[in-house]
Structure 1
Amino acid sequence: MKTENTVWHNQHVSKAQRAELKQQKACLLWYTGLSGSGKSTIANAVDALLFANQHHSYLLDGDNVRHGLNGDLGFSDQDRVENIRRISEVAQLFVDAGLIVSTAFISPFRQDRALAASKLSAGEFIEVFIDTPIEVCEQRDPKGLYKKARAGEIKDFTGIDSSYEAPENPQIQIKTADQSIEQCAQQVVDYLIEHGIIAAKKL
């Protein structure tokens, strides 16, 4: 809870200066999609490409964050909202450090993704919709979660008994059912090059 004694402390080094030192523009790649759509897989592939070409990036994965920072949260709608609120704040700090930061979360509600976008400057929030049909996600079911949800063993599961609000105008839309992981990752990298966030190298 904020108090009247909490005052914002301005820093001498700016976000632009930090990004310039890294020879890139800071941004947030916000991967959203159903469980099993390929968010983490593609985000990791993009992160590897960026690292290989000496760009400064970091990936905040939904499952990993729930092991620590958000370990006290469940999967009710209320907890999902708080989950995204917290990660939005953390991602903002990473962007302020001049990084290309990725978040791989289902983040099912448009309002919450809009909140994350509102914390950043124009052009810094890049919504990446991993557009994979639920039928394909269920076929993959890498964690066996859809099977458990269909059996009633998991409640509030997105796409089954909890809603997913697909992005209406994402900056990047990736159809994983039609492309390889490498093609999907390159689509994201091409966007970053096209919009001047990174320079074209040997990606």
Structure 2
Amino acid sequence: MELQQGFCIWLTGLPSAGKTTIAREVERRLRERGVHTELLDGDEVRRGLSSDLGFDRKSREMHASRVTFVARVLARNNVVPLVALISPYRQSRALARKEIGAFVEVYVSTPLNVCEERDVKGLYRKARMGEIHDMTGVDDPYEPPVSPEIVVDTLGQNPGESAEFLLAELVRLKWLPDSFSKSLASGAPARDHLKVHV
């Protein structure tokens, strides 16, 4: 599938909400249909580009700013950046939207107690025991999106189903052509050009 212009899919949500897992499923499906895409995972970016940053508000805002810059460069080169980033503050996400332009905010809505159950790293437990600080959802706020383009409710859905729902919503919102929806149902690659809001 040939892109007329890239656009950013920005997944935000609490730690362990399922952002990266869903983003990987979406990435695989886009690649299978010939869409050039790149996953920007918050943890991976922190190990490289943002290795000098902490977890206080200023550091989190700078981290989001760096990811925004990379996503903007990718999008303007006809790539679909998939951002999986807690990005807890509305202001950071608003700035990302303004900078990137072609921007789809996806709220991965998962209750805090479910996120804690899924937390394989044990970060929530460490935060509640006072071993770590500035943990989103514990002692640092998460500001849910007010009007995201897409809300993914992960309860009762596996990651593949969440990815299929997200892609179907992108078709409904005209970020992807109708033929993409048909290819999702059949498993066949879509052939139409990608239609993108400017």
TM-score by length of 1: 0.85
Aligned to 1:194: 172
Which of residues 57, 66, 77 is equivalent to 1:86? 66
1:146-198 Cα offsets, whole Å, 9 max, x none, are: 11111111100000000000001010001101212111101111122223333
Which of residues 103, 128, 131 is equivalent to 2:106? 128
Aligned to 2:196: none
Matched, 1:164 2:105: no
Aligned to 2:192: none
* Aligned alpha-carbon RMSD (Å): 1.4
Which of residues 10, 13, 18 is equivalent to 1:38? 18
Task: Give the Å deviation of 1:70.
Answer: 0.5
State how far apart, in whole Å, the 1-side matches of 2:141 and 2:174 are: 35
SS at match of 1:106: coil
Hey, which bits of structure 1, 4+ residues long, moved more than 4 A?
none
Aligned to 1:58: 38
Matched, 1:155 2:125: no
Which of residues 77, 85, 102 is equivalent to 2:57? 77
State how far apart, in whole Å, the 1-side matches of 2:74 and 2:167 are: 19
SS at match of 2:107: strand
Task: Give the Å deviation of 1:24.
Answer: 5.0
1:27-56 Cα offsets, whole Å, 9 max, x none, are: 101100000100000000000010111111
TM-score by length of 2: 0.87
Q: Any conservation in 1 of the 2:5–2:76 contact (CA below 8 Å)? A: no
Q: Any conservation in 1 of the 2:25–2:160 contact (CA below 8 Å)? A: yes
* Larger gyration radius, structure 1 or structure 2: 1
Q: Any conservation in 2 of the 1:128–1:173 contact (CA below 8 Å)? A: yes
State how far apart, in whole Å, the 1-side matches of 2:62 and 2:5 are: 28
Distance change (3 Å), C-alpha of 1:23 and 1:98: closer
State how far apart, in whole Å, the 2-side matches of 1:196 and 1:25 are: 13
Give the fraction of aligned pairs with identical amino acids, expressed as a percent.
41
